[in-house]
Amino acid sequence: MNFTNFDLDQLFSMGDDSNPLLMIVWILPIILFVFYGQQIQLFVTSREIKKGLKKLDNFREESRTELINYVKNNLKVKNDPVKKIDKFLEYFTIMPVDMDPNGIVDKVHHTVRSREDYTRSHVKSLSPEMNDIELNKIQTLLEIASSLQMIYKIVNHMFLTAKKQNNYPLILPLQMLLPFIMEQAEAMIEAIPAFKSDQPVGDGIGPMVVGKMMLEHEKETIAFQTSLSKIDFEDRKLFLLKAEGPASTVGRPADGLEKIMSENKIDAIIMIDAALKMEGEDSASIAQGFGAAIGGIGTERFQIEAVATTNNVPIFSIVVKQSVKEAITLMTEDIADTAEIVRLQLNEMILENTKSGQSVVIIGVGNTSGVPQ
Amino acid sequence: MIFSKKKITTEYTVEQCTKCGTLTKRKFNHGDVLFATLLKCASCDGHTRIEKIFGETVEQ
C-alpha cells in the first residue's frame, strides 16, 4: 500500500457532512457526556475526596498515637490506657432540644459543663497522682484526637453515602467544604507539639497581656481554673481576670465576672482576645470594638452579656487578628510582639472610657497554655 | 505534592533583663514558660525574665 499520499481531509471528508465515520467521532462524546456526565464528574471528584480522606485518616491515627504515647511515657499508669483512651475518643454529646428555645442556654451550659466534669474525672482515673497541668494537657490532647476522629467519620459518611447512591449532587457540598475542613484538621494536628510542650499558642495573646499585668501582685482563685488580681492604675481600680496558667485551659471568666460584679460596683469591662482574621487581613493586626470578645459555644458570652446588661456596664474589646492555624499552634513572633502594643492601647482605653475613682474588669480571654500570671 | 516545600518550625525563647533591658534570643528549652525568672544577666547584676516564646517557620 502507498501511504505517502495520505490525506487527512479525505479520510474524514472534512468538506463532506455525510461521512458516517466523522459523525460517530463527534456524536459519540456528546452521547457519552449527556448520559454519563454525572458519573464521570463523580469519578473525578471522588478521587479528590479520597485523597483528603486518606489525609484525615492519617491525622486521626497520628493524634491518637501521640496521646497514647504521651500518657504511657509521662504518667504513672497502672493498667494499659489504650482501651480507656479509645472509649474516650468515642464519647459524644447530645445537644438539648431547641424546639422551644426558652431556657436553651442554661440547658446547653449544663450539658457542656457536665461533659467537661465527667471527662476530667475519667482522665484523672488514668493516673490519680497526675497534677492539674498534666490533667489539662491530656484533656486538650483528647479533645484534638476526638475532634479529628469525628471529622473523619462525618466526611467518610458523606462520601460513602454519595458513592453508594451514585449521586453526584450529594457529593458537591462535600467537595466545596473539604478545603475548609482540611484547613481546620491540619491546624489541629499541628497544635499537638505546642500543647505537649506547654508552649503559648496564638489564642493565648489575651492571657499573655493580662498575665504580665498580674505579675508580682496577689492572686486569688475567683472561679474554677480562673485567677483574679486587683491592682491600681491612674486612680482607677482594675480587676484582672484570666485562666489559671500555665495549664492548657480557658477557665470560666463568666463565672468570675459574675462574682466580681456581685461584690463590687464596676463601671466598664474590657476583654482582650484573639479573633479570626478575614482573608486579605494582616495577621497580628489589632482592632478595637464593642461587645464581648469571646469564642466557644456561646454560653460564656451569653452569661457575660447578661451580667453586663443587668448592671448597665459597657463592654469594650481589643482583638488580635490571626488565622485558625495561628490561633491553636505555637505563637508566632508577630503575634507575641503585639502584647506590648495591646497593653498601651488598653491603658488608653481605660483612661478614655472611665473617670478617676472608677473600677474596670479586664479579662484576658483564651487558652492560657504556657502563660502563667 | 511534588512542588510543595517542607515547613520546619523552630521554637525560640526571648529573655529580657529586668534591670538593663538586654534582650537575648535562644532556642526553646523544655520547661520554659513565659515570665519565668531565670539566671543572672550577662551584662549587669539583674535577673532575666522570659518575655516571649514563639515559633519561626521556614520552608525547605
Specify if B40 maps to a domain. yes
Tell me if B26 is assigned to some domain: yes
Grid cell digits, residue A128: 490519680
- Classify residue B47: in a domain, yes or no: yes
- Shortest Cα–Cα distance, B28 to chain A (Å): 9
- Asked whether residue A15 carries a pLDDT value surpassing 60, the answer given is no
- Residues 6+ away with beta carbon under 8 Å from B20: B41, B43, B44, B46
CA distance B34 to B49: 8
Residue B4 lies in a domain: no
Q: What is the pLDDT of residue A156?
A: 95
A62: pLDDT strictly greater than 90: yes
Measure CA A337 to chain center.
22
Confidence of residue B38 (pLDDT cuts 50, 70, 90): confident
Instruction: Give the domain extent around B24.
Output: 9-57
Any domain includes B1: no
Query: Is residue B51 one of the residues assigned to a domain?
Result: yes
Owner of C-alpha cell 454560653: A299
Q: Is residue B3 part of a domain?
A: no
Mean pLDDT of B27-51: 88
Contact A197 B30 (CB under 8 A): yes
Distance between CA atoms of A275 and A323, rounded to whole angstroms?
Answer: 8
Q: Summarize the confidence of residues A94-106 as an average pLDDT.
A: 92
Residue B45 lies in a domain: yes
Quick: pLDDT tens for A161-202.
Answer: 988 888 778 888 999 999 999 999 999 999 999 999 999 999
What's the pLDDT score for residue A12? 59
What's the order of all strands across the beta sheet hosting B7-17? B23-27, B7-17, B47-59, B37-40
pTM of structure: 0.88
* pLDDT at res. A145: 96
pLDDT (mean) for A57-72: 95
Q: Which of A44-53, A74-83, A266-275 is predicted most confidently? A: A266-275
Q: How close B57 comes to chain A (CA, Å)?
A: 9
- Chain centroid offset of residue A15 CA: 64
Torsion angle (degrees, nearest 10) of CA A243, A249, A250, A253? -40
pLDDT at B3 over 70: no
> For residue A273, which phi and psi values (nearest 5 degrees)?
-150, 170
Pairing of strands A236-243, A268-276: unpaired
Contact A330 B54 (CB under 8 A): yes
Q: How far apart are CA B5 and CA A89, in angstroms?
A: 33
**pLDDT, mean of residues A129-147:** 93
**By the CB < 8 Å criterion, does B59 face chain A?**
no
Residues within 8 A of A (CB atoms), B 26-45 only: 28, 30, 33-36
- ipTM score of complex: 0.90
Q: How many domains does chain B have?
A: 1
Confidence of residue A17 (pLDDT cuts 50, 70, 90): low
Determine which helix (DSSP H) or strand (DSSP E) holds A261, and give its type and residue range: helix A253-263
- Can you tell me the distance from the alpha carbon of A187 to that of A178, in angstroms, rounded to the nearest whole number? 14
